[in-house]
Amino acid sequence: MAEVRKIKNFINGEWVESKTTKYEDVYNPATGEVIAQVPLSTKEDIDYAAEVAAEAFKKWRNVPVQKRARILFNFQQLLQQNKDELARLITIENGKNTTEALGEVGRGIENVEFAAGAPALMMGDSLTNIATDVEATNYRYPIGVVGGITPFNFPMMVPCWMFPMAIAVGNTFVLKPSERTPLLTEKLADLLTEAGLPKGVFNVVNGAHDVVNGILDHPEVKAISFVGSKPVGEYVYKRGSQNLKRVQALTGAKNHSIVLNDADLDLATTNVIASAFGSAGERCMACSVVTVEEGVADEFLDLLVKRSKEVKIGNGLDEGVFLGPVIREENKTRTLGYIQKGIEEGAKLVCDGRELGAPEEGYFVGPTIFDGVTTDMSIWKDEIFAPVLSIIRVKNLKEAVETANESEFANGACIYTSNASSIRYFRENIDAGMLGVNLGVPAPMAFFPFSGWKSSFFGTLPANGKDSVEFYTRKKVVTANYKAPSFE
Ligand code: NAD
């Protein structure tokens, strides 16, 4: 058997071997095959990357903003040219199907396009005559080295929420991608080099918690963007803040969709299936609970179960496959554990994903639906992050909203209805940062803020949109007294 390739770190514009002796296998989750080995890098590796990035910052911050933007324009072109290969890498290491992977590449490119607007986005403001002959001007500056820590479920899009804007406004960056999906990042680093990015501006240190701790503790790292699960996000937020860094941590979710009696059930079914089972339910915006009004509950559920049983499960590279694998064997085991728990807790299993003909090899779980779920059940409370959907039947919209608001999470929420008053009631009363009306995955585009409420987000400034410019910059306000010239 051929030796498995060992991944390197990308520091100071070069691929360098980690100082570690520990490596972890990277799998293709659709086949169970080991496709590479990722280093569990050391404190020494992350210290080196942070110092290189701090040194590079001294020059990069002074590169004119339009020149920095032009490098991002080049990068955008290269991403477009390489989009099929990028999507293929995503499918191989993450498992989502080719269409979804191409969608993810598109969302990443959107972030690069938005960040290329840095000259306009970085502009400050000024006010003349705040007192006689006195005026004030607000300038924006980068903050230094930014650390990015990312999850496995969007190996391209989530890093692109971070580094394009961070570097466009003059920071340098150290990325620690998920150790479960490190391949896509290699390609990003190579394309950034090809686009003309100077050495040391973008660095990658692969690994797990030791690298995260290294980022959290290094004095040169001034800001941290984290996306991942709630327990890790809470830890990152607390330790980073304690070390006096800016931290934004986008975390876990349990997203509710509300289906009212006046909903277009065909549309609701299509969108709920796409949202709950697309990307194997491994989306922070996946629908994991449907709260349905009693009047249409039976009809909706019949349609949902019938169509869920028809989805094609398999390797995401194969034509027509909708549902790929979950990321690892342990995630499959955990999911099967939740299915068993749901049965024991008294929910009714109306679509059993264990019996829908998933391939033997790889880590597959078919679409799974529980009816009669209540809010004291663990399948309702916990983020399962797999294709498992809970159904709750309610009297009306008010009860649906109150039920959803019992969750500790508040990332996204959707409503299916044709009534404007219901939409407004939902918007005003639901706890969630990202809402959808008659659609399944209300992930805001790059120019809008992205973050949840409650346990789905720790920090002040969300990712993306103008908030990301705020997060990655600091300000100086100059108040100047221009004594009026004398013409006597
Ligand atoms: P994860 O929390 O396991 O890992 C995220 C990152 O943290 C990885 O880089 C990982 O190496 C690191 N990490 C893991 N355990 C750690 C520890 N003990 N100490 C320090 N670092 C650690 O998350 P995941 O499984 O890769 O991704 C799925 C999670 O991400 C889900 O909870 C999902 O909801 C969330 N997510 C949220 C958003 C959002 O916008 N809110 C977007 C995508 C994913």
pLDDT at 344 over 90: yes
Task: Tell me, using a 6 A CB cutoff, whether residue 280 lines ligand 1.
Answer: no
Mean pLDDT, rounded, of the chain: 97
pLDDT at 488 over 90: no
Task: Tell me whether residue 351 is one of the annotated catalytic residues.
Answer: no
pLDDT at 285 over 90: yes
Comparing 226-235, 459-468, 479-488, which segment has the lowest mean pLDDT?
A: 479-488
pLDDT band at residue 1, thresholds of 50, 70 and 90? Answer: low
pLDDT band at residue 357, thresholds of 50, 70 and 90? Answer: confident
How many angstroms separate the CA atoms of 185 and 194, rounded? 14
Task: Tell me, using a 6 A CB cutoff, whether residue 60 lines ligand 1.
Answer: no
Per the CB < 8 A criterion, the answer to whether 426 and 435 are in contact is yes
176 labeled part of a ligand binding site: yes
pLDDT tens for each residue of 29-49:
999 999 999 999 999 999 999
How many angstroms separate the CA atoms of 34 and 93, rounded? 10
Token couple for 247: 């931290």
Q: What pLDDT score was predicted for residue 153?
A: 98
pLDDT tens for each residue of 377-400:
999 999 999 999 999 999 999 999
pLDDT band at residue 138, thresholds of 50, 70 and 90? Answer: very high
pLDDT at 283 over 90: yes
pLDDT at 456 over 60: yes
Q: What pLDDT score was predicted for residue 296?
A: 98
Per the CB < 8 A criterion, the answer to whether 459 and 112 are in contact is no
Question: What phi and psi, each to the nearest 5 degrees, are found at residue 451?
Answer: -175, 160
Strand locations in 230-318 (E): 246-250, 255-259, 287-293
Centre of ligand 1 from the C-alpha of residue 395, in Å: 36
Centre of ligand 1 from the C-alpha of residue 150, in Å: 6
User: Tokens 């299509």 correspond to what residue?
Assistant: 270
pLDDT band at residue 339, thresholds of 50, 70 and 90? Answer: very high
Q: What pLDDT score was predicted for residue 356?
A: 84
Pocket test for ligand 1, best of 175, 184, 204, 212 (most atoms within 8 A of CB): 212
Centre of ligand 1 from the C-alpha of residue 3, in Å: 29
State mean pLDDT over 193-220: 98
State mean pLDDT over 82-87: 98
pLDDT at 227 over 80: yes
pLDDT tens for each residue of 393-435:
999 999 999 999 999 999 999 999 999 999 999 999 999 999 9
Interface confidence, given as ipTM, is: 0.99
Question: What phi and psi, each to the nearest 5 degrees, are found at residue 121?
Answer: -70, -30
Comparing 73-87, 241-255, 355-369, which segment has the lowest mean pLDDT?
A: 355-369
How many angstroms separate the CA atoms of 399 and 478, rounded? 53
Question: What's the pTM?
Answer: 0.98
Task: Tell me, using a 6 A CB cutoff, whether residue 49 lines ligand 1.
Answer: no
pLDDT band at residue 359, thresholds of 50, 70 and 90? Answer: confident
Centre of ligand 1 from the C-alpha of residue 270, in Å: 28
The alpha carbon dihedral of 383, 389, 390, 393 has a sign of positive
pLDDT at 250 over 90: yes
Task: Tell me, using a 6 A CB cutoff, whether residue 351 lines ligand 1.
Answer: no
